[in-house]
Structure 1
Amino acid sequence: MAFFFKAAPSMGRMGMASPVEMVRCTKESLVAVHDRSAAKALEDVERNISYLRQTLVGDRETEPNQEIVMQIATEICKEDVLSLFVQKLPSLGWEARKDLVQCWSVLLWQKVGSDHCCAQYLENHVDLLDFLVVCYNNIEIALNCGNMLRECIKHESLAKYILESASFELFFKYAELPNFDIASDALCTFKDLLTKHEMVVSQFLSSHYEQFFELYAKLVSSTNYLTRRQSVKFLSEFLLEPPNAHIMKRYILEVRYLKLVMALLKDSSKNIKICAFHIFKVFVANPNKSEDIIEVLVENHEELLKLIHNLPMTKGEDEQLEEEIDLIIKEIERLSRRADMRR
């Protein structure tokens, strides 16, 4: 039996069935799909998801009917179709996966009453979020899952779950994947997790500081250039965000991280050197430097001054950066002179 809905002759494609019928047929066709060898079942489910996408998104000629969209969202949660979307994703073809991701993006923001019903459904079925994270290991659906995850992360409660779950640590592994597109996508999702909800992230880092930065240190030391460049750039932006001030103050008191950043100043990449400088300057400019930090700066002052003097800048590239370099040089020289006077 084929599970798909057809347009009534006088209604056109967008008026093909009621929301209840549309969701029922979509569910039945998804359930019938077991693997890609079931060609007829795949044909039915792909047709149904395509129709569903047209209803939710509309097309060039027709805007979606918001009342129908709301009814579809309600039925999809009621009938557990959202779970099937995730579970059956690996079995679907390229076009069906693309349509499904579009449906997912609309559904997660559909309100029924005052609640985003599909986001609320995921709060109660967090195993689906874990499944989406793990799917970065599946090269065929990794990018689809990345898009779906980033839509989830826009909801604070879902982002909070992923951050605090065991699945979160997988992103440190995914950033090192050999597939350039998948590694880049995973880093994009990782960045969204750490930037979309400032207070949630601040609380997470406060309670997971040691574990997080030990893992992050491996990213900025990676032999993979893409991983190293993007993670250093993100760290240089991330630590300077006002909500993370307390994290930055803790970070810049640690000698191990100062040494890590100093090593990055020697990188062959201009971009990495500049990003590393923006982290390094915070260690040096900190008025409450520990004696251990001062000792490392003084012991390495000649090499550091040389590295900073030789930062790869084009003339007049950034006046503010030039001023910052000048101030950091003066501070290192001051610390060195003070150390000499004490000897």
Structure 2
Amino acid sequence: MAFWWKKTPKTASDYARLLSEQLNKFDNASASDSRRKVQDECSKYLSGIKHFLLGDVEPEPSCESVDELYDAIYQLDILHDLLAKMPELEFEPRKDVALIFATCLRRSRDNKFVTVDYLVTKPQTLSLMLRTPELALTKPNASDLFLKSGSIILECLKYEQLCRMMLRDPQLWVFFDLARGGSFEVSTESLQILTSFFTVHHKLVSTEFFSHQANLQKLIDKINKLMAHGNYVTKRQSVKLLHSLIMIRSYNQFLTTYINSPENLKLIMILLSDRSKNLQMGSFNIFKVFVANPRKSKPVSDIMVKNRDKLLHYLASFNADSKDTTFLDEKEYVVQEIESLPRLVSPNSDLTLGTSPQNRSTIE
């Protein structure tokens, strides 16, 4: 990189200015040759900015020149333009864009994250950032573009100020649809983004997001839909996300709402008997919370009472070959709690527990 730097001696702000000019040229670059030239120029300046910010050029850039580059990035609204034109860039430049975002976000001065403070004043940039993955699916090389734009969102969600603003954006809910209906890469990345939304900044989510009952119930409905109708990977990751949420201490309002719903219990009991052992274990970790709740709602308690014998029969052979002492202790506790329930026989049923056609039990 040193030879290129010496061959093209420009000030730090020139790189931002020249990149901005090239990004704007995409709007008029209709011919393939013209578009290719703009792509090449963008690639060159992006590479230069990346190496400049990382400090791996010769001579090593001074603090003043680095500050000059950052100031130019902010003044020219480069971060917004990079998101807007990201579909026009090729594979390697997209990687540079993601790296530049991550590097800029980490910039600290006087104990403040300067780029984070800047983005707080640019809600349109954050809104575009959240829309970019969905827009990516309409472009060539959709998966790569989706993953690169998703990685930028994940970097932003590390910072509470930005997470707060993004939690208020309705585009958040679109990631549940993408998780359910997308390819393996899209589904996995969407669920990773959703997990970061709700598990990185506990206090923020608890006090500002879950304080709205509509948000709380909508989140439960969305997760349940993924667990009920998603493919195997989506179900497994959704169960894992749900377990994470109910285990976060400050999310008591989420926990209480979830485990007092009979419909939620029915869904978890169905997943408990899934053919996949991973899904069975993930669901057991949620089911045991229903059982351990000392203040069960009457509808939840009624379901457990009606299915007491069927649950005991199922749990008798559930993961019987496990040597995990923690699991065995938890299973013993669950069995004891269910055994303590009143014994009741009910002839009616509407759901199934158990996957064997020869021995299919029912949830009532």
With structure 1 as the length reference, what TM-score do the two structures score?
0.89
Return the match for 2:318 from 296, 308, 311. Answer: 311
1:273 is aligned to 2:273: no
Residue in 2 that maps onto 1:332: 338
Name whichever of 192-201 and 104-113 sits farther off.
104-113
Contact 1:74 1:112 in 2 (8 A): no
- Out of 35, 38, 60, the position equivalent to 1:41 is 38
Deviations 1:49-93 (A, max 9, x none): 011111112449887654433332222111211111111111111
Query: 2:358 maps to what in 1?
Result: none
Q: Larger deviation: 190-199 or 247-256?
A: 247-256
- Hey, what does 2:152 align to over in structure 1? 148
Distance 1:169 1:33 in 2: 31
The residue aligned with 2:356 is: none
- Aligned partner of 2:360 in structure 1 is none
| TM-superposed deviation, 1:131 | 2.1
> Partners in 1 of 2:17 and 2:176 — Cα distance?
39
The code of the aligned residue for 1:307 comes to Y
Structure 2: distance between partners of 1:249 and 1:166: 25
Q: Secondary structure at the match of 2:229?
A: coil
CA contact (8 A) 2:105 2:156 kept: yes
Deviation at 1:117, TM superposition (A): 2.8
> Any stretches of 5+ residues in structure 2 without a counterpart?
137-141, 346-364
Decide whether aligned partners of structure 1 residues 21 and 291 sit closer, same or farther in structure 2, where only a CA change above 3 A counts: same
Equivalent residue number for residue 176 of structure 2: 172
TM-aligned CA distance change 1:61 to 1:19, over 3 Å: closer
**Residue deviations 1:91-139 (CA, integer Å, cap 9, x gap):** 1111111111111110112134454232223222222222222222311
Distance (Å, rounded) in 1 between the aligned partners of 2:277 and 2:56: 46
Partners of 1:205 and 1:212 within 8 A in 2: no
Does the aligned pair in 2 maintain the 1:73–1:117 contact within 8 Å? no
CA distance in 2: counterparts of 1:227 and 1:65, whole angstroms: 48
- Select 1:88's aligned residue among 76, 85, 90: 85
Aligned-residue identity in percent: 28
CA RMSD in angstroms, aligned pairs only: 2.4
User: What's the TM-score once normalised by structure 2's chain length?
Assistant: 0.84
Q: Report the secondary structure of 2:275's partner residue.
A: coil
Question: What corresponds to 1:221 in structure 2?
Answer: 228
Q: Distance in 1 between matches of 2:251 and 2:26?
A: 47
What is the CA–CA distance in structure 2 between the aligned matches of 1:64 and 1:330, rounded to whole Å? 67
Whether the 8 Å CA contact 2:51–2:57 is kept in 1: the answer is no
Secondary structure at the residue paired with 1:315?
coil
CA deviation vs aligned residue, 1:184-225 (integer Å, no higher than 9, x gap) = 111111111111111111121231111111111101112411
In the TM superposition, residue 236 of structure 1 has moved relative to its aligned partner by 1.4
Matched-pair contact (CA < 8 Å) for 1:136–1:174: no
Residue 163 of structure 1 corresponds to 167
